[in-house]
Structure 1
Amino acid sequence: MTPATKRLKKAARIILIGAPGVGKGTQTERLLSRFPQLAAISSGDLLRENVRKRTTLGLQAEALIQAGSLVPDAVMLDLISSELAVKGWLTPSESTPSSSPAHASSISSSSSRPNTIMPSASFILDGFPRTAVQASSLDRILPINFVVHLFTPPSVIISRITKRWVHAPSGRVYNTEFNPPKVEGKDDVTGEALTQRADDSIDTWKQRLEKFEESSKALIEHYDRQGCLWRVEGNSSDEISPKLFAEIERRFA
């Protein structure tokens, strides 16, 4: 049964932090259903969209990617700022040459005059920031007021991913414990063989976890100092979601 939706009385600007496989995507989907005022803003999706539409920012990013370089934080910040401006949620400190989504120009993230965020803007920001340095840069243009540290014991996540199987052509996902296929090893719809994703191997996951822990420690400390960090623990998404809903309602509804 779909849970009743709730209306937010205060703007919620949310970031979810958690180890790979902890269920950030699942929680985002559930939050969007529970609180319709929320929007999901994915830095990765914005980057791909701007590259596809050949915007000024997209062309900058594409050139860097093709040269084998990382996209600088400033470009990512401009992508996020421009998307918020297009939605009417952010008033730039300097005039923006174009308001077209396909050709959105950058909003200065280095200006001494701060951008103004609309009081009603509520969203979940995905994929950025990933480091404390990025968080500090983001603070200058977009104050975040709720950072959720999702925690599930590594042993539980490992158990979960080793039981996850996918039908690659369709993307259908099965779990041998709580969502098994009707026939072992076969897709319910096509009967084709199921496989495990390369990043679902234990060794790969442990490498990703190590990288996450290295980069997230300072990030978590950054938001803890700002007083907007909240930690929630559970062995499954179903265990975490009710706690997360209750905390958001307590703070913003």
Structure 2
Amino acid sequence: MVLQRVFRAVIMGPPGSGKGTVSERLTKSFSLKHLSSGDLLRANIKAQTELGLLMKSCISHGQLVPDDVISRLILADLRDMDHTSWLLDGFPRTVAQAEALDSVYSVDTVINLDVPFQTIQQRLTSRWLHLPSGRVYNINFKPPKIAGLDDVTGEPLVQREDDTPDTVSRRLKAYENQTQPVLEYFRSKGVLQTFSGTETNQLWPHIHTSLSKMFSNQSQKVLGNM
């Protein structure tokens, strides 16, 4: 689908909500540039940029990276894409970051994936890894042929420390506490769209239909102004 003007979207959802899969489908279906704040942060730290070094210092001292530092990093990258339609993932995480984004760009839509925490907990705590290769298994829908062992090498599988039940519960609660005000902020702006369900394939048709309508309306407005 060809867009008639630049389209700007944000995707939000707790860890394990299927955000990565939905983002991949959105970028392919609507020709959006996917911008992950996590990828950008890691790239700046690796390149030892000024902001990267500042963030690395905060992280190494167990401190949260200040909102203004994160905002400067993301907005600097977005300025290089002024004529590109994008999908922003992982930012904003706080109201201060949302306000910083809103002061520079008008966001067309915020896609919120509302997946029950119980579903996410089952999904994440069922995940096991073969560390040397990075192969991922899930005991519910993609189990190894032999329980606890990698299909290819036969080596033991391990569970990430942040995939244990207690850790997952804390991560989900922290996400809820941190992002609820951000969702309310975007709701007050009239751009929040929440999609509820337990499976990505269940959510995707509704997300696709909604954005298709937005793009159609956008094209009509552009043509009407010509």
Whether TM exceeds 0.5 here: the answer is yes
Please, which of 51, 56, 59 is the counterpart of residue 62 of structure 1? 56
* Residue in structure 2 matched with residue 41 of structure 1 by the alignment: 35
Match of 1:81 among 72, 75, 80: 75
Confirm or deny that 1:252 pairs with 2:215.
yes
- Structure 1, unmatched stretches of 5+, are 1-5, 91-117
Matching residue within 13, 16, 37 for 2:11? 16
Matching residue of 1:145: 108
Secondary structure in 1 aligned to 2:193? strand
Cα distance in 2 for residues equivalent to 1:66 and 1:161: 27
2:24 is the alignment partner of 1:29: yes
Gaps of 5+ in 2: 217-226
RMSD: 2.0
1:1-253 → structure 2 map (5 Å cutoff): 6-35=1-30, 37-86=31-80, 89-90=81-82, 118=83, 121-253=84-216
Deviations 1:98-130 (A, max 9, x none): xxxxxxxxxxxxxxxxxxxx3xx2111122111
Query: Could you tell me which amino acid in structure 2 is paired with residue 73 of structure 1?
Result: D
Counterpart amino acid of residue 30 in structure 1: R
Alpha-carbon distance, 1:76 to partner:
1.7
Q: CA shift at 1:180, angstroms?
A: 2.0
Deviation, 1:227, is 0.6
Measured in 1, the distance between the counterparts of 2:66 and 2:53 equals 13
Q: What code does the residue aligned with 1:234 have? A: G
How far 1:150 sits from its partner (Å)? 0.6
Partners of 1:162 and 1:48 lie apart in 2 by 26
- Distance apart, 1:191 and its partner CA: 1.7
Q: Is the CA contact (8 Å cut-off) linking 2:125 and 2:168 kept in structure 1?
A: no
Q: Which has the higher helix share?
A: 2
TM-score by length of 2: 0.86
- Contact 1:152–1:234 under 8 Å retained in 2: yes
Instruction: Identify if the C-alpha distance between structure 1 residues 85 and 17 changes in structure 2 by more than 3 Å, giving closer, same or farther.
Output: closer
State the SS of the aligned residue for 2:111.
strand
3-state SS of 2:6 partner: coil
Number of aligned pairs? 216
Following the alignment from structure 2 to structure 1, what is the Cα–Cα distance between the partners of residues 141 and 42?
34
